[in-house]
A and B are shown apart, each in its own frame.
Chain A
Amino acid sequence: MTSIDKNPVAPRVIVREAAAPRPRWQVWLIRPEVVTLLLLVIAAIVATRLSPFFADLGFILESSTYYIEFAIVALVLTIVIISGEIDLSPAAQMALSACLFGTAFKAGAPIPVAMGVSLLSGLVMGAFNGFFVTVLRLPSIIVTIGTLILYRGLAQVLAGDKSISGFPGWFVGIDYRMVGIVPVPVLVFIAASILLGLFLGITIYGRQIYQIGTSEIAAIHAGIRVRRIKMGLFIASGLTSSIAGLMVASRLGSVRYDLATGGELTMVLIVMLGGTYIFGGRGSILGTFLAAWLLVIIATGMTVANIAINAQLTIMGLLLIVSIIATNAIYARSQR
């Protein structure tokens, strides 16, 4: 603008008025998280109408434990997607780390040691993904589809077709340990949401992750250590997956190579429902938190109303498309 103004050769000075700032209420209300919240409220009302058995907080919390492990990993996946990458291997990492835990236990290791093995494997698997993405610079979608198959295959090699069980009583049944009426896994999810929400929202690393997702080249020029941060995110994803795997092992009292099969899609579903932008740079932990409950309400509500599974899948699919369209529309609007 200024350079044009100073140019004496210019025949005419083009004066453009800045658009009036959008009203504050619009900035606050028109965001993907609000859409998720609205859907959540609607889903809860519909589910209550569908079945008289639904509106029971104890039941909803108990049912939520079947999805909450995926939701916990989805929190980290949200950050990975905001940074412009994706990780499709967490469900397979859950299976492999849980099978390593089971194998170590069967080999005679005490439970804490077996848990240590499992967590360590999570770190290694995450670093393995991170190595391909940050050092060899391969696209994360291809890398993690590969490792998704690799980790699941290794789990099968390790555990075979049989399940490993016989864990001591204190380890089994994490979903049945309550604080008040809230099962422990739900508390873990809430705590993780608050911590990661703060990390992404108020720390310098959080801002840098948004910057990387918005424009990686700009981030590099701004001196952000992009590769180091991405490596950290993949390792965090692996570690969280192994924690989630251990939670499944405790809930089921047994592990098998096919544990959490298809979980990667549930995780991506949660992140997308929460309004995170698939191309990176935008999204929030709050959205993912709300979306996890949206999924719990919808799945539980339809199951307790005896709605056939094909109808359930159809509704989930439609919901996903609606939320992606809404997210895109809102971001397109705010970019104008």
Chain B
Amino acid sequence: MLRRNLMLAVALGATLLSGAAYAADPVSIVYIPKNTGNPYFDSIIKGFEDGCKTLGCEFTTVAPASAEATSQIPFVTAQIQRGVNVVAISPNSPDALNQVFDRARAKGTIILSVNSDMPGNETHRDAAILPVDFTKTGPSQVELLGKQIGYEGEIAILSATTDAPDQNVWIAAMKETLEKDPKYAKMKLVTIAYGDDDPQKSTTETEALLANYPNLKGIISPTTVGVAAAAQVVETAKKADKVKVVGLGTPNQMRRFIENGTVEAFQLWSPYNQGLLAANFAVGVKNGTIKNEAGTVFEVPGLGKVTVEKDSVIKTQADLTTFDKTNIADFNF
């Protein structure tokens, strides 16, 4: 009896000790999204939380009320004061945070830019976690539409604004794919419309497309506002069987159109995976198991092998995620 008690005490003591040693320095990570109340960022946060559950890191998230360029600065300063190891942030400005990042890094805090990078100011952060390999966005969208219309017929693009940098890069890639790849030789791009990422204008532009091009077979809208508006117009006009809509959209916006068959499939990436990857990378770099330099390959459970590219850029996934009837129920953002 006594011996049993002793053993229990020893075992308890051992657990306590190891527990204490473990708790002494879990890596602490804070994530600062652009602003509060955006389901897209809630998905990234969920990824961080699940990652930290398995890795044993401490995770918190704080966010400013507005996405104004300087609104995140006091939060970064407060986190340095709290002594967190890693600040992951979706910066509201490519350069307004430079000074405060420099100070954080001088005190040993690791700065990760999540979801978007800081073009031209890469030296002020430690690494950038981006959603997807954006060079594949254009070709991938063309293929998604081509498959649905039998690689034949007139198609149109509904973009954001005329000078939206991301969209213009993707559209250029779409044009190139259509011209160069013989597989798409019978698909003809008739026009590019600009909805300015405004639901009303996007709706009007789509209506004009349907009126002006009666033989139109498909619309690609590589912007979340545009693709939802286009789907709505096609649904109202009852032309879902004649005109296929594809694009980049979020599952919550597009769920209704997928469920009622207006849209067969659309694409995006998984913000959840970005959070998961960022948590793994942060802990690895802090503990010295992952080297933050170009060429490093590391494994993320559930995502496979990931490579650190030039300028410490990490792309979460190579290909876009395609959402359709079979998987849309799994996503909520």
* A297-322, CB < 8 A from B: 299-300, 303-304, 306, 308-310, 313
Q: Is B65 an interface residue (CB 8 A)?
A: yes
Which of the 9-residue segments A7-15, A248-256, A323-331 touches chain B? A248-256
Q: Is A23 an interface residue (CB 8 A)?
A: no
Closest to A60 in B: B81
CB proximity of B147 to chain A, nearest CB, Å: 36
Number of A-B contacts defined by CB within 8 Å: 78
Contacts of B96 in A (CB 8 A): 163, 252-254, 256
Q: Is B99 an interface residue (CB 8 A)?
A: yes
Contacts of B75 in A (CB 8 A): 303
CA distance A254 to B95 in the complex (A): 7
Q: Is B83 an interface residue (CB 8 A)?
A: yes
Q: Is B321 an interface residue (CB 8 A)?
A: no
CA distance A256 to B63 in the complex (A): 21
CA distance A254 to B69 in the complex (A): 11
B69–A304 touching, CB < 8 Å? no
B36–A309 touching, CB < 8 Å? yes
CA distance A299 to B36 in the complex (A): 17
Interface residues on A, range: 20 to 34
B66–A261 touching, CB < 8 Å? yes
B78–A63 touching, CB < 8 Å? yes
Q: Is A85 an interface residue (CB 8 A)?
A: no
B74–A300 touching, CB < 8 Å? yes
Q: Is B287 an interface residue (CB 8 A)?
A: no
How many residues belonging to B are interface residues under a CB distance threshold of 8 Å?
25
Q: Is A258 an interface residue (CB 8 A)?
A: yes
A66–B81 touching, CB < 8 Å? no
User: A52-72 CB contact bits vs B (8 Å, 1 = yes)?
Assistant: 010010010011001000000
Q: Is B82 an interface residue (CB 8 A)?
A: yes
Main secondary structure on B side of the interface with A: loop
CB proximity of A119 to chain B, nearest CB, Å: 22
Closest to B65 in A: A309
Q: Is B168 an interface residue (CB 8 A)?
A: no
B95–A253 touching, CB < 8 Å? yes
CA distance A259 to B68 in the complex (A): 8
Contacts of B82 in A (CB 8 A): 51, 53, 304, 306
Closest to A59 in B: B81
CB proximity of A304 to chain B, nearest CB, Å: 4
Contacts of A62 in B (CB 8 A): 77
Given contacts A63-B78, A251-B99, A299-B74, contact A262 B68 (CB under 8 A): yes
Cross-interface CB contact of B68 among A59, A258, A310, cutoff 8 Å? A258
Q: Is B98 an interface residue (CB 8 A)?
A: yes
Contacts of A308 in B (CB 8 A): 36, 62
A306–B62 touching, CB < 8 Å? yes
CB proximity of A237 to chain B, nearest CB, Å: 22
Cross-interface CB contact of A163 among B74, B81, B94, cutoff 8 Å? B94
CA distance A62 to B95 in the complex (A): 20
A310–B69 touching, CB < 8 Å? no
A310–B95 touching, CB < 8 Å? no
Q: Is B70 an interface residue (CB 8 A)?
A: yes
* A233-270, CB < 8 A from B: 248, 251-254, 256, 258-262
CA distance A303 to B71 in the complex (A): 12
CB proximity of A164 to chain B, nearest CB, Å: 9
Given contacts A53-B81, A304-B82, contact A259 B95 (CB under 8 A): no
B83–A53 touching, CB < 8 Å? yes
CA distance A254 to B74 in the complex (A): 17
Q: Is B73 an interface residue (CB 8 A)?
A: yes
* A127-174, CB < 8 A from B: 163, 165, 172-173
* B55-87, CB < 8 A from A: 60, 62-66, 68-70, 73-75, 77-78, 81-83
Q: Is B177 an interface residue (CB 8 A)?
A: no
Closest to A160 in B: B163
CB-CB nearest 8 A-B residue pairs: A304-B78, A303-B78, A254-B95, A309-B65, A261-B68, A252-B96, A59-B81, A53-B81
Known: A252-B69, A253-B98. 10 other contacts (CB 8 A): A53-B81, A53-B83, A63-B78, A66-B74, A253-B99, A256-B93, A262-B68, A303-B75, A308-B62, A309-B64
Residues of B at under 8 Å CB distance from A? Answer: 36, 60, 62-66, 68-70, 73-75, 77-78, 81-83, 93-96, 98-99, 103
Residues of A at under 8 Å CB distance from B? Answer: 51, 53, 56, 59, 62-63, 66, 163, 165, 172-173, 176, 248, 251-254, 256, 258-262, 299-300, 303-304, 306, 308-310, 313
In the complex, 25 of the A-B residue pairs with CB atoms within 8 angstroms, ordered by the A residue number, are: A51-B82, A53-B81, A62-B77, A63-B78, A66-B74, A163-B94, A176-B99, A252-B95, A252-B99, A253-B96, A254-B93, A256-B93, A256-B96, A258-B69, A259-B70, A260-B70, A261-B68, A262-B66, A262-B68, A300-B78, A303-B62, A304-B78, A306-B60, A308-B36, A310-B36
